Amino acid sequence: MWRLRGFTLIELLTVIAIVAVLAAILLPVFATARHASKASVCASNLRQLSKATLLYAQDHEEYFPLAFYRVQRNEGPCIRTVWGCLRPYLGDYRVVLCPADPQPIDLRALRNARATGIPPCIDEPTHVSLMLNWCLAVNSFSHPEIPPVSIARLPYPASTGFWFDGWLGAESRPQFEPLSGVDPRHGHRTQVPAQVFQGQERHYHGRGQASFVDGHIRAFQARLRYDAARLGDTLEVIARPETIDGRAMPVWLIQGGVYHNRTSFFGWPSRPKPEQPNRWLFACYPRPNYCEEWD
């Protein structure tokens, strides 16, 4: 009679242990590859948005599109956004998204902004993940008297942020002044709890990507700013900014470039600071109660 022989318990446990070790080695590699793939798609979308914006400017006497403005349709008034302005220059509206963004900003929440009270136009994208440097796109709701910004106003296009990974903030809802914050989506530990205490911010890191007016794309390291600190028996909480669709977002600081230690790619570099030539002064379109140039 033939005697069948199977695997012993020791052999099975050995195989399982080997598989577990291989999985522990390979899973981080797969995660890195997945992040790199998503970052590549986001970079491509940033490049397409930048080209579309420059094509728009070429067709409109070198002026950038407006950020938000009111239009009249047969169905009533609605909000036209900068993303909608670029639709004729985009083959696919999905370029305003990033696959690494699990919850894009809902533009339908613009209707709740007190200065507008009207919805986005029906041909606008409903969700977006990539934000514009708002100094380049005038918001005609808040500042209807300010003309659009021209490309000629930018002395350093290669250092002027254009589109980037970010979220759309509400800042002052009564005035509906757009604000963008950096969202470093391309790291392994970018999800943070509701409050981060001083000293814990180093546990979270990520990379954000931005395009520049000259057309190149660059990745930046981002550092989380803590928003809760214990002062003896008391707790000091730094309020997180609020998005247009009502979420409280953590604050990240950009590491590198002329935007070093900033929370967004806001403004354009106007000139080196006279007493500190290694630092830059930034400019924006003039508006009430706002500096034309700041450090």
Tell me: the pLDDT tens digits for 41-55?
999 999 999 999 999
DSSP 225: P
3-state secondary structure of 173: coil
Dist CA 192 CA 194 (whole Å): 7
- pLDDT top residue among 112 and 262: 262
Question: Would you place residue 174 in the very low, low, confident or very high pLDDT band (cuts 50, 70, 90)?
Answer: low
Does 29 score more than 60 pLDDT?
Answer: no
Tell me: the pLDDT tens digits for 130-165?
999 999 999 888 788 888 999 999 999 999 999 999
Tokens read off for 252: 């990240």
Cut 0.85: pTM above it: yes
Backbone angles phi, psi at 151, to 5 degrees: -60, -30
Look at residue 289 in the predicted model and tell me its pLDDT. 61
Question: Would you place residue 177 in the very low, low, confident or very high pLDDT band (cuts 50, 70, 90)?
Answer: confident
The residue count of the chain comes to 295
| Mean pLDDT to the nearest integer, 13-17 | 79
Helix (H), strand (E) at residue 221? strand 217-224
The residue written with tokens 């305003």 in the block is 96
Cβ atoms of 291 and 282 closer than 8 Å: no
Dist CA 292 CA 179 (whole Å): 17
3-state secondary structure of 65: coil
Cβ atoms of 228 and 235 closer than 8 Å: yes
Nearest of 70, 171, 176 to residue 119 by alpha carbon: 70
Look at residue 100 in the predicted model and tell me its pLDDT. 92
Lowest mean pLDDT among 62-76, 188-202, 214-228: 188-202
Tell me: the pLDDT tens digits for 98-132?
999 999 999 999 888 777 788 899 889 999 999 99
Listed by start position, the domains of the chain span: 14-294
Mean pLDDT score across all residues of the chain: 87
Look at residue 5 in the predicted model and tell me its pLDDT. 65
**What is the per-residue burial (b if ≥16 Cβ within 10 Å, else e) of 50-73?**
bebbbebbeeeeebbbbbbbeeee
| Mean pLDDT to the nearest integer, 48-70 | 95
Cβ atoms of 176 and 68 closer than 8 Å: yes
Question: Would you place residue 12 in the very low, low, confident or very high pLDDT band (cuts 50, 70, 90)?
Answer: confident
